[in-house]
């Protein structure tokens, strides 16, 4: 069996898609940390930011998708937080590179 997010990409596991292009999709997080919590993922599987960054242009595609989505959406006019958890101590639970995009409330800093 493929990874959870690869199954979402294939449509085998349902998710609420909010954005898609040739290289990237985004969907609502099942357990939102704020009123708006979306995960941006490359369609191609990479375990984390380190392996994804070795593929030329891949992270650029992910961040361009985030730019398009947030620029087009009034929800993000006051800002948002983008988070990439990597490995155990950062509590990465799904090993398919994903960028959390979180908005809709005041966000504390530093994060927990």
| Among ligand 5GP, Zn ion, none, residue 15 binds (CB under 5-8 Å by kind) | ligand 5GP
Site string for Zn ion, 65-94 (x = CB under 5 A): ------------------------------
CB-side neighbour CA atoms (13 Å) of 18: 18
> Using CA atoms, how far apart are residues 5 and 92, in angstroms rounded to an integer?
13
Radius of gyration of the chain (CA): 14
> Using CA atoms, how far apart are residues 87 and 92, in angstroms rounded to an integer?
5
**In the annotation, is 98 catalytic?**
yes
| Among Zn ion, ligand 5GP, none, residue 47 binds (CB under 5-8 Å by kind) | none
Q: Is 1 near ligand 5GP (CB under 6 A)? A: no
Q: Which is nearer to ligand 5GP, 13 or 77 (CB)?
A: 13
Q: Which is nearer to Zn ion, 75 or 94 (CB)?
A: 94
Contact 101, 33 (CB under 8 A): no
Q: Which is nearer to ligand 5GP, 68 or 86 (CB)?
A: 86
b/e map 20-30, b = 16+ CB within 10 Å: eeebbbbbebe
Residues that are catalytic = 98
């Amino acid at each position: 069996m493929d990874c959870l997010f690869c199954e979402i990409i294939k449509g085998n596991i349902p998710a609420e898609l909010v954005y898609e292009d040739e290289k990237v999709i985004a969907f609502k997080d099942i357990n939102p940390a704020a009123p708006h919590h979306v995960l941006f993922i490359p369609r191609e599987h990479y375990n984390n930011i380190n392996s994804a960054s070795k593929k030329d242009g891949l992270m650029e595609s992910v961040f361009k998708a985030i730019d398009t989505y947030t620029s087009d959406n009034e929800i993000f006019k006051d800002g948002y937080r983008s988070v990439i958890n990597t490995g155990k101590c950062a509590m990465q639970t799904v090993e398919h590179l994903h960028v959390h995009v979180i908005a809709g409330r005041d966000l504390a800093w530093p994060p927990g």
